[in-house]
Amino acid sequence: MTTAAIIGGGVIGGGWAARFLLNGWDVRVFDPDPEAERKIGEVLDNARRSLPGLGNVALPPEGALTFHATIAEAVEGAAWVQESVPERLDLKQKVYGELQQHCGADAVIGSSTSGFKPSELQDGRGNASQIVVAHPFNPVYLLPLIELVGTEANPADVIARAKEIISGIGMYPLHVRKEIDAHIADRFLEAVWREALWLVKDGIASTEEIDNAIRYGFGIRWAQMGLFETYRVAGGEAGMKHFMAQFGPCLTAPWTKLMDVPEFTDELVDLIADQSDEQSGMHSIRELERIRDDNLVGMMRAMSANDWGAGALQNAQDKAREGEAGLLSHVDQMVDLAQPVLTLNRTVPLDWTDYNGHMTESRYLDAFANATDRLMIMIGCDAEYIASGGSYFTAETHIRHIDEVHAGHAIQVKTQVIMGAGKKMHLWHEMFEGDRLLATGEHMLLHVDLATRRSAPPAPHVEAALVKLAEAHAALAAPAGLGRAIGAPR
């Protein structure tokens, strides 16, 4: 098991701990705050609720979380050390001086700093090559962006290893080629924040109205397409050049106050704080975090369906996890053909539940359809085969709901091939949480020629793989409920 050390367990440090832990790393935490264990525990509760259901493949088994009284204990054996102490350069350099006495020389030390440049963090350090900026975004356990910033002191292999580790826990390492104050993303945030302060101070808009302008407008576009691609679309068929010609002259208009900072008085702070309390004070911070997480998971899952943006990144992570989760890509990889096939291994996401608090009916079908898709891939009816003109269509389905399934449950589907000769594929799916049977799905499919949209024999290699499974599964007992009509006794 690989180990990560977290130095500083606040909101960001706790998010890092959750991200590593839920991706199978052991995590060792140092934080002198006597409340650190409780605070990280609450962050972990939110992460366990939301992150496992973000993708469509189960996460690896959770690592071990331990808390340590000294930095020396925390960094022992760590491959990655993440520093998330308060934004004081003297404090950070003091921490580096201590942890570099005890961590491995080949460990990567990442800083969560949003403001300091890596050269400032490396200054005076004996092994500056292992220190980089690895700036995340809250919540770290859900948002994938990491701004990875180094200097000439960092050799290429350190940057490559940092990228590999960050990618391995489902995040996106944006390598910032030249160090700059506040890196990249926070410079955008500062510009928007500065304009927002002026709008409130001058009585143009309240905090809620400003938030509404973002979340009902350009914020949604930015979430899935960024800045430049959004404007490219806005330029119509003529693209970005037309957009720049049309709106470029506006840049000379005195609209913004980016070079002018409002005086940060007590009156301005009170005005903004009062408006913010009125806007969302009816929710606790933990409630707001859960609402935020629900919305983030929903948006990123929607983008997954289009293989776009953060959703495309999650799809790639799912693909990388399939082998770890026991999902095979071909029948020939099976060790024991005579056992039902593992065709689904995932966690129930937040948006799969209904008003009764358990998984909604349509999602049982969704889960079983995904299991059917996995079996199709295993017999060679994959994307390439479908593009060539052959596929299976479902002719009939019967689902039995046996026990409740809730968001966050780790579910598996195991599939038995009842019949697989000729054009027909008769499948029996069983959904489990551990040993608890949750539901069964019986499905009859027909192979179809996509050019004629009529049933047709499958390609020989597809039929052979299906027959191979069907013959092996023929030795299994007939499942209880096979062929059952609705309402008929068992």
Tokens at residue 70, please? 């000294």
Note the pLDDT tens digit of each residue in 72-90: 999 999 999 999 999 999 9
Q: Are strands 26-30 and 65-68 parallel, antiparallel or unpaired?
A: parallel
User: pTM of the entire structure?
Assistant: 0.88
Annotated binding-site positions for NAD(+): 8-13
Q: Mean pLDDT, to the nearest integer, of 439-457? A: 97
Q: Mean pLDDT, to the nearest integer, of 385-398? A: 97
Give residues with Cβ within 8 angstroms of 268, minimum separation 6. 197, 200, 201, 262
Q: Mean pLDDT, to the nearest integer, of 377-398? A: 96
Q: Which of 476, 354, 451, 375 is nearest to 420 (CA)?
A: 375
Q: Are strands 80-83 and 108-111 parallel, antiparallel or unpaired?
A: parallel
Positions of E strands within 107-259: 108-111, 131-135, 145-149, 172-176
Q: Can you tell me the distance from the alpha carbon of 118 to that of 154, in angstroms, rounded to the nearest whole number?
A: 10
User: To the nearest whole number, what is the mean pLDDT of the chain?
Assistant: 93
Tokens at residue 391, please? 């596929």
Q: Can you tell me the distance from the alpha carbon of 210 to that of 200, in angstroms, rounded to the nearest whole number?
A: 9
pLDDT band at 490; cut points 50, 70, 90: low
pLDDT band at 489; cut points 50, 70, 90: low
Annotated binding-site positions: 8-13
DSSP-based three-state secondary structure for 139: coil
Residue 133: phi and psi, rounded to 5, are -85, 130
Tokens at residue 21, please? 């832990």
User: How much is the pLDDT for 245?
Assistant: 81
Q: Mean pLDDT, to the nearest integer, of 371-385? A: 97
Q: What is the DSSP letter of 215?
A: I
Note the pLDDT tens digit of each residue in 103-161: 999 999 999 999 999 999 999 898 999 999 999 999 999 999 999 999 999 999 999 99
pLDDT band at 461; cut points 50, 70, 90: very high
Note the pLDDT tens digit of each residue in 27-64: 999 999 999 999 999 999 999 999 999 999 999 999 99
Q: 403 has which bridge partners? A: none
Q: Which domains does the chain have, with CATH numbers?
A: 3-183 (3.40.50.720), 186-282 (1.10.1040.10), 327-473 (3.10.129.10)
Greatest mean pLDDT among 211-215, 222-226, 242-246 lies in: 211-215
Q: Please determine, for residue 251, whether its predicted confidence score (pLDDT) is greater than 70.
A: no
pLDDT band at 4; cut points 50, 70, 90: very high
pLDDT band at 243; cut points 50, 70, 90: confident
User: How much is the pLDDT for 5?
Assistant: 98
Greatest mean pLDDT among 20-24, 91-95, 233-237, 325-329 lies in: 20-24
pLDDT band at 362; cut points 50, 70, 90: very high
Q: Please determine, for residue 363, whether its predicted confidence score (pLDDT) is greater than 70.
A: yes
Q: Can you tell me the distance from the alpha carbon of 324 to that of 23, in angstroms, rounded to the nearest whole number?
A: 11
pLDDT band at 357; cut points 50, 70, 90: confident
Q: Mean pLDDT, to the nearest integer, of 230-254? A: 78
Q: Mean pLDDT, to the nearest integer, of 255-276? A: 82
pLDDT band at 458; cut points 50, 70, 90: very high
Q: Please determine, for residue 234, whether its predicted confidence score (pLDDT) is greater than 90.
A: no
